Amino acid sequence: MRISWRTLVLYGLIVARGQSAFIEFTDSATFNATVSGVVLQDFEVVSGFPLAPAGLDFIDATIDLSTPGGDSDVSLQDFGNGFGQAIGGRSGGAIDNFLPVLISFSAPYYAVGFDDLDLTSTPAEFAIITVNFAAGPPVTFNRFELDSDFSTAAFFGIWSTIPITSVEVYSADNIGDPPGSRANLIDNLVYSRIAAVPEPATWVTSAAALALLIARRRLRR
């Protein structure tokens, strides 16, 4: 049996799409126990970061921090409440926590997570998080309600089978709202350069796709 190059390309696209899977995390303990090679950045002075308030535009040569709609860096701020220093938006060289924080990766990173911190005592505040991948469309997560207890953070984490190119986060009154209605900070950034392993269901889907293509080929003959 011979399969044309068009069929092989189509199969390759199906497999690649099927392997573009990710695992979402809502607590840091599970993230750290599941993801391999995790690195933590807590933004504290003892960890080598500047004393707040100060600007911060990168963590290393492959991780850039910026404020969409604002400056090319972010602001280090003293949040306290058991968290110490954290990062938020920056505009005109001043703190602007109503703007998003953008974390961009210029090397292959497959996992990223952080604590999203609430800055107001009013409940029903949501973290709007958009993740961009090296292939495929971006995915937006907006199901995390931030607690009005300042000592409680809403953790978000993701582990992907393909590289993550950027993560943008801001807070809003309602799911789907644009930036500007609420302020927030993020802390305890974690990331890894080790890819997630596709679940068995992914390989089953790929095998089924190949079987379908072979069947179609036979019918044409």
Query: What is the full per-residue pLDDT of the chain (221 aa) written as tens digits?
Result: 444 444 333 334 333 444 459 999 999 999 999 999 999 999 999 999 999 999 999 999 999 999 999 999 999 999 877 789 999 999 999 999 999 999 999 999 999 999 998 766 666 688 999 999 999 999 999 866 655 566 678 899 999 999 999 999 999 888 889 999 888 899 999 999 999 986 554 444 444 544 555 555 565 55
Q: Where are the domains of the chain?
A: 1-20+198-221, 22-197
**Options 2.60.120, 1.10.3470, 2.60.40, 3.30.310; which CATH number does 22-197 get?**
2.60.120
Q: Kindly state the DSSP code that residue 183 receives in the 8-state scheme.
A: -
Strand partners, 191: 39, 112
pLDDT of residue 194: 97
Residue with tokens 């029903």: 124
The pTM assigned to this predicted structure is 0.80
Extract the tokens encoding 195.
């890819």
Q: Report helix angle 200-220 to 5-19, nearest 10.
A: 160
Extract the tokens encoding 121.
């005592």
Q: Which amino acid is at 99?
A: L
pLDDT of residue 9: 38
171: region left, alpha or beta (phi > 0 left; psi from -120 to 50 alpha)? beta
User: Which ranges of 21-141 would DSSP assign to H, the alpha helix?
Assistant: 28-34
Q: Are 7 and 219 in contact (CB under 8 A)?
A: no
Q: In angstroms, rounded to a whole number, what is the distance separating the alpha carbons of residues 14 and 99?
A: 37
pLDDT of residue 47: 96
Q: In angstroms, rounded to a whole number, what is the distance separating the alpha carbons of residues 196 and 159?
A: 6
Residue with tokens 């069947």: 215
pLDDT of residue 10: 37
pLDDT of residue 126: 87
pLDDT of residue 206: 46
Extract the tokens encoding 76.
């280090």
For β-strands 94-95 and 58-60, DSSP reports them as unpaired
Residue with tokens 């996992």: 111
pLDDT of residue 90: 97
